[in-house]
Structure 1
Amino acid sequence: MTGKLKNKIAIVTGGARGMGEATVRLFASEGAQVVIADVLESEGKALAAELGNAAMFQRLDVSDEGSWQALVEVVTAHHGRIDALVNNAAVVAFGPITALTVEQIDRVFGINVKGTMLGLKHVGGAMCAVGRGAIVNISSVDGMRGVNSLSLYSSSKWAVRGLTKSAAMEFGHQGVRVNSVHPGGVNTAMGNPQSLEGDAKNAGYERVPLQRIGEPEEIAAASLFLCSDDASYICGAELAVDGGWAAGYYHHYLPAAPAALTSF
């Protein structure tokens, strides 16, 4: 590795598993001191123990303001500052709009939107106070388009996308960069709940340009770039890491589609 985050202090929410875990591992390998922030205590503590001096675990309920305040206090007391934040924690809910419950709406928006906003408020505020930092908000390809039965999740990720733009305007002139990453389908418990392997895990992605599901390490690499000094002039941007999904779908009945794409 190249030490792109050498001596930087980074917080990754939802860092105990999935994309968060991949991000924690990559950041640690690039020299960061990583704070694994999650409600999954056993998984988070186990990961921190595995990574040794490169990581610490702090319980964080992203929907609770007091939890964020405690996180900032602990990290600044331990490390003295915060250089990077990846707002990764999220949940998904499926179902048509007419079937959604208030409980589902409150949970998804509480974690995906409120959680991101509180992270910006408290960690972003701490960064602005010292005049430097980088924040990555994990949105989704579904924050760039609409999709049936994912209206709740999609609208929450559109909100994260818009919030990123506004935060970039507020924080940029204070030395803090804010950007969003938009994953497509990812091979995690959320994106591959059946734990399919081999070609089976790519089923349904035939119409996406790269024709496969993404791996969590590929999303983590985008967050690494945006948190590193390589992205020093990038602020308010959105980076799609989706195998080309946001670009469009193949239509098998038109020229230039993959030869193997025969029917949909």
Structure 2
Amino acid sequence: MPQLPRYEYTGPVDCTIPPNRAVLKGKSVIITGGANGMGEATVRAFAAEGAFVTIADLDEVRGQELAKELSPNAQFVKCNITSWDDQVQMYEAAIANSPHNSCDIVIANAGISRASGDDLWPLDDVNEPPVKPELNIVNVNLIGTMYTWKLAIHYFRKQPDTEDRDRCFIITGSMVSWIDSPANWQYTSSKYGLRGLMRTARRNSHEQGIRINYVAPCYIKSAIRSAAYEAELMAKGVEFAPPEDVAMCMMKLATDRTINGHSLMITPKSVSKEGFKDVGMEDHIEDGYFKRTQKAQLSIIEDQWVPGWSKGRTAEGAAKP
């Protein structure tokens, strides 16, 4: 497996160093939610560098069109990420049809927003029985991406064990993981959850040679948003970033094996000329309670991410007598 050092804070990622695009040639890349928007831009960027991209999406028409356009460097697999079986088929197809029968890079990009309907938010009629929410946004964004992560671990470990292979997992999160976004209850909760997954997984990911990072877009130009609403947002001071900047951020993470456990945020060019930068808020640097507690937690939790470790441990992680 790829040899990675244990995660420790070494400062922010230098985003001024451009991605080494050459290393993508022949790599197998899965991009969920890859048929439109940020996902499509990322698919195009990786396929252009000779990677074999599996486009996983529910939009069969657009997905097939994109795969045909980018052939032979892309294939489409219809996939609902809330379905474990769909995702298994996605991974199997990615490996079976890739140049080296591998799965090198997984970009967990699929997700839905408040626009799809947040049934946690509405106020019910107090004179009627309470309505149980379906929590579809949480199911897609959080549970679906956890499926993607769990399966990535399995298939990363099955791939050819050669020096040129990578095990890279990237989560599409959101800036709402750091800023309040009123009424975005499920969406914000799910993106916070995914950021939490990255932060905890990075502490053991080296034991399986897996890099995990988080990308946080804010306002990205998209055809899904009406021109009128976009103009209204701009009038309120919103600066939009193009989806191509998301693709370049993904490429930076995918091609630099030294990056593990970081969150990069997509920014307007007025903030960062590259269109993205390190968030710089994932570690407790200043001396104080949080830094001391984090150090203690890393000492208390002794779990190792290796086969058979849990057999000698209780459910809470203590050594069995």
| TM-score normalized by the length of structure 2 | 0.68
Consecutive unaligned residues in structure 1, runs of 5 or more: 248-264
CA contact (8 A) 1:96 1:150 kept: no
Q: Distance in 2 between matches of 1:96 and 1:33?
A: 38
Identify if the C-alpha distance between structure 1 residues 98 and 200 changes in structure 2 by more than 3 Å, giving closer, same or farther. closer
Match of 1:50 in 2: 69
Match of 2:141 in 1: 112
1:116-135 per-position Cα deviation (integer Å, ceiling 9, x unaligned): 10111112221134464111
Match of 2:249 in 1: 222
Q: Which has the larger radius of gyration?
A: 2
Question: Cα distance, 1:103 vs. partner?
Answer: 4.3
Q: Distance in 1 between matches of 2:250 and 2:42?
A: 7
1:212 paired to 2:239? yes
Misfit runs of 4+, over 2 Å: 1-4, 94-98, 100-104, 128-132, 166-173, 199-202, 242-247
Q: 1:153 aligns with which of 187, 197, 204?
A: 187
1:85 paired to 2:89? no
Count residues in correspondence.
Answer: 237
Tell me how large the CA RMSD over aligned residues is: 2.6
Q: Distance in 2 between matches of 1:114 and 1:224?
A: 25
1:236 paired to 2:261? yes
Matches within 5 A, 1:1-264: 2-79=21-98, 80-93=101-114, 98-99=121-122, 102-105=132-135, 107-130=136-159, 132-190=166-224, 193-195=225-227, 200=231, 203-204=234-235, 206=237, 212-228=239-255, 231-243=256-268, 244=271
Match of 1:259 in 2: none
Question: Cα distance, 1:168 vs. partner?
Answer: 2.3
Q: Distance in 2 between matches of 1:97 and 1:40?
A: 26
Q: What is the SS of the residue equivalent to 1:169? A: coil
Q: What percentage of aligned pairs have identical amino acids?
A: 29
Identify if the C-alpha distance between structure 1 residues 78 and 158 changes in structure 2 by more than 3 Å, giving closer, same or farther. same
CA contact (8 A) 1:97 1:149 kept: no
Match of 2:289 in 1: none
Q: Distance in 1 between matches of 2:66 and 2:29?
A: 15
The amino acid of 2:169's aligned partner reads: I
Q: Distance in 1 between matches of 2:104 and 2:176?
A: 28
Identify if the C-alpha distance between structure 1 residues 104 and 142 changes in structure 2 by more than 3 Å, giving closer, same or farther. farther
Q: Distance in 2 between matches of 1:85 and 1:21?
A: 14
Greater helix content: 1
Q: More relative contact order in 1 or in 2 (CA 8 Å, sep 6+)?
A: 2
Identify if the C-alpha distance between structure 1 residues 102 and 7 changes in structure 2 by more than 3 Å, giving closer, same or farther. farther
Q: What is the SS of the residue equivalent to 2:71? A: helix
Consecutive unaligned residues in structure 2, runs of 5 or more: 1-19, 124-130, 281-321
Question: Cα distance, 1:17 vs. partner?
Answer: 0.5
